Chains A and B, each alone.
Chain A
Amino acid sequence: MRRSTEIAESIRIAIESLRMNLLRSILTTSGVVVGVVLVVVMGWTIGGLDAVWEQAISIMGKDMLYIDKWSWSGGGNWRLMEARKDITLQQAQLLASRMESAECVMPVVRLWSGSVVRNNTSLRCGILGTTNEYGQTSSAELSSGRFFTSIEDYHGAKVVVLGEGVAKGLFPGEDPIGQTIKIISEPYRIIGVIAKRGFLFMDFVDNQVVIPLESFRSTVGLFERSVSVGIKSGSERMLDIVRTEAIGHMRAIRSVPPGAVDDFSINETQAFDEQVKNIRIGIWIVGMGLTILAFIVGSIGIMNIMYVSVTERTKEIGVRKAIGARRNSILLQFLIESSLLCVIGALIAFPFAQLIVGSARYIAVDLLEQDWASVVSPLIPLDLLMIAVGVSIVVGLLAGLLPAIKASRLDPVEALRYEQ
């Protein structure tokens, strides 16, 4: 009861004393304002990165793993991987026939850059040869048409599914389905177009065409090309089981002696998580450094103004003590005042932070036409605002602590005698 009436009184006093010195109070909070803007913008950036990344891995498929000669993450010994034998199509097909836990298994061969021609227009893009199972992965979600069938694959039918970039490049404003293009001088009939899958550094996935593996063998050839094996586990839950089984089969197929390390890499979207985590940490460290700096500067300002406030109100403190304010009452009064000052700083900061965040998104999405950025929220999320207010209160309490202790320990006799 006593505490709550004192808190109510303290808040009333704090608001009044801040209102009396409005300009001074606002100027004092500038450090806190900068700190809060930084915290909020940093939090939003990390949140945006996560959203983009979430979208990215869902396109690649969280339930997918790939067995390759090379490791995606760039980790491991480069020379060791170079020395590995290529994964052959036979090995890939053997694995596909032996796998039991996976939903489907597909060999994938890739020519990074081949020519694709329509009448007089030509462009270079990736050429992917795979089986019809590839159509079941999220990488091959179609915007129109259909994927090729196992029969078309078996017979090496000359049919092609275009990536979104290729479709736009060769058929601007037209429907490509049913049309014919030449892939390395062989005519292919277009049966489907894959929806836009690319984003950021993964743009190349839109700039490729997908053809049946058998057609790839005849048009491009498999000579000296390491095959990648895509395995769809069906669910994230199954990943561990599928991985273990795939490694076991693959070691047997490639005759890796017991105790020796794998002579192939298991690639998963998780491998990219590590890189994204590093970017996150990078943003976090830089942001935190700046934020802490701003808050230190800010809290020195707050502390300074609180000392001024304590001195200005020495007589008032004396009166309050004479009529029965305990040390804690005075302490509380000044702590509430300093944290309120910081909360005001936070409230001033929010519109600025929103302006920065909103402009950044507008520039990325509307001016630079980076569609991938549209998954990032244009508003600062509420929890981030709460955190910022919380941090400001803590900063206010810390900055106000020494002045408040000084005030609470004033000798009432001397404080009453104090004249300005």
Chain B
Amino acid sequence: MSHPIIEISNLVKCYEMGGEEVYALRDVSVTIGSNEYVAIMGPSGSGKSTLMNMLGCLDTPTSGTYYFNGEDVREMTDDDLAEIRNREIGFVFQTFNLLPRATALQNVELPLVYSGVSKTERHDRATRALEQVNLTDRMTHKPNELSGGQRQRVAIARAIVTAPSIILADEPTGNLDTKTGHDIMALFRHLWEAGNTVILVTHEEDVARHARRIIRLRDGRIESDTVNPDA
């Protein structure tokens, strides 16, 4: 197995809710290496969203350890986390989460703004990212002038523009029709084949089938972690 990007061991996440402690994750350990294609599955309430937030460095664990590229995430400040998200993680959301008032190109440039890349380089890199998702003809369009599939492709371009260590997609086809969903999944596959590490979070078997490795969660624990022979 290749060099690990994500090393999680005995991870626990506990929320305080109305004075009661609710465990979203209990004792999860998982290692994900470079250029893997992983699907995290589970019914709602299984803790998969919480695990995704952990993997995406949007949240920190209650206990247990999380090393991202050898760095201890639990020790990080909010700004350290922001920086690691900016540099290492590309998010793709179910609802796309594009900025409505910015053009496709500006949306894709945004992560580079926060890493301080110059205007011309930003433009070049964002254009190249949009080329990778076949959207160069829609660069100056705003999200409401784009179809759902096009919006998701803009979001994917935004995710890959910083050349992150992982692409983290949360139900990326959840708001798309079947045909468009297939196109998007083909795009992920293409990205994986090009050497990217892709992690999908989904509750749809059809979507998970695309991944090489499927991790199933139930009640905050890993139920199974299997290699998918179909992919």
Q: Residue B101 contacts which of A1, A17, A319 (CB distance < 8 angstroms)?
A: A17
Known: A5-B118, A17-B101, A412-B58. A323 touches B78 (CB 8 A): no
Contacts of A237 in B (CB 8 A): none
Check if B99 sits within 8 Å of A1, measured CB to CB: no
Q: Is the interface of A mostly helix, strand, loop or mixed?
A: helix
B82 at the interface (CB under 8 A from A): yes
A236 at the interface (CB under 8 A from B): no
A312-353: which residues lie under 8 A (CB-CB) from chain B?
315-316, 318-329
Give A18 Cβ to nearest chain B Cβ, in Å: 11
Give A366 Cβ to nearest chain B Cβ, in Å: 50
A186 at the interface (CB under 8 A from B): no
Residue of B56, B59, B78, B162 with most partner-chain A CB within 10 A: B78
Check if A5 sits within 8 Å of B101, measured CB to CB: no
Number of cross-chain contacts by CB at 8 Å: 75
Check if A5 sits within 8 Å of B53, measured CB to CB: no
B76 at the interface (CB under 8 A from A): no
**Bound form: Cα–Cα A340–B110 in Å:** 22
**Bound form: Cα–Cα A327–B83 in Å:** 11
B79 at the interface (CB under 8 A from A): yes
**Bound form: Cα–Cα A5–B78 in Å:** 21
Check if B79 sits within 8 Å of A326, measured CB to CB: yes
Check if A323 sits within 8 Å of B56, measured CB to CB: no
Q: Residue A324 contacts which of B59, B83, B122 (CB distance < 8 angstroms)?
A: B83
Contacts of B91 in A (CB 8 A): 322-323
Check if A416 sits within 8 Å of B97, measured CB to CB: yes
B132-171: which residues lie under 8 A (CB-CB) from chain A?
158, 162
A79 at the interface (CB under 8 A from B): no
Contacts of A328 in B (CB 8 A): 79
B66-103: which residues lie under 8 A (CB-CB) from chain A?
78-79, 82-83, 85-87, 91, 93, 97-99, 101
Residue of B78, B82, B93, B115 with most partner-chain A CB within 10 A: B82
> How many interface residues does A have (CB within 8 Å)?
27
**Bound form: Cα–Cα A328–B114 in Å:** 11
| Chain A residue nearest to B98 in the complex (CB) | A319
**Bound form: Cα–Cα A318–B86 in Å:** 13
A100 at the interface (CB under 8 A from B): no
Check if B58 sits within 8 Å of A2, measured CB to CB: no
**Bound form: Cα–Cα A296–B93 in Å:** 42
Known: A5-B119, A6-B116. A323 touches B101 (CB 8 A): no
**Bound form: Cα–Cα A8–B116 in Å:** 11
Check if B113 sits within 8 Å of A9, measured CB to CB: yes
B117 at the interface (CB under 8 A from A): yes
**Bound form: Cα–Cα A5–B58 in Å:** 24
Check if B111 sits within 8 Å of A323, measured CB to CB: yes
Check if A6 sits within 8 Å of B118, measured CB to CB: no
Contacts of B116 in A (CB 8 A): 1-3, 5-6
Q: Residue A323 contacts which of B59, B85, B119 (CB distance < 8 angstroms)?
A: B85
A369 at the interface (CB under 8 A from B): no
A20 at the interface (CB under 8 A from B): yes
**Bound form: Cα–Cα A413–B97 in Å:** 13
Check if B113 sits within 8 Å of A322, measured CB to CB: no
Known: A323-B110, A324-B115, A325-B114. A413 touches B53 (CB 8 A): yes
Check if B82 sits within 8 Å of A324, measured CB to CB: yes
A16 at the interface (CB under 8 A from B): yes
Check if A6 sits within 8 Å of B53, measured CB to CB: no
A1-56: which residues lie under 8 A (CB-CB) from chain B?
1-3, 5-6, 8-9, 16-17, 20
Check if A327 sits within 8 Å of B119, measured CB to CB: no
Contacts of B101 in A (CB 8 A): 16-17, 20
Check if A326 sits within 8 Å of B83, measured CB to CB: yes
**Bound form: Cα–Cα A98–B158 in Å:** 93
Check if A327 sits within 8 Å of B85, measured CB to CB: no
| Chain A residue nearest to B53 in the complex (CB) | A413
Residue of B86, B98, B162 with most partner-chain A CB within 10 A: B86
B39-65: which residues lie under 8 A (CB-CB) from chain A?
53, 56, 58-59
Check if B78 sits within 8 Å of A327, measured CB to CB: yes
**Bound form: Cα–Cα A320–B115 in Å:** 12
Residues of chain B having any CB pair with chain A under 8 Å: 53, 56, 58-59, 78-79, 82-83, 85-87, 91, 93, 97-99, 101, 110-111, 113-119, 122, 158, 162
Q: List 29 A-B contacts (CB under 8 A).
A: A1-B116, A1-B118, A2-B114, A2-B116, A5-B113, A5-B116, A5-B117, A5-B118, A5-B119, A6-B113, A6-B114, A16-B101, A17-B101, A319-B97, A319-B98, A320-B110, A322-B58, A322-B85, A323-B85, A323-B91, A323-B111, A323-B158, A324-B82, A324-B115, A324-B162, A326-B79, A326-B82, A329-B82, A413-B58
Residues of chain A having any CB pair with chain B under 8 Å: 1-3, 5-6, 8-9, 16-17, 20, 315-316, 318-329, 412-413, 416
Sort A-B residue pairs by CB-CB distance and give the 9 closest, nearest first: A324-B86, A2-B116, A324-B114, A326-B82, A323-B111, A326-B79, A319-B97, A9-B113, A1-B116
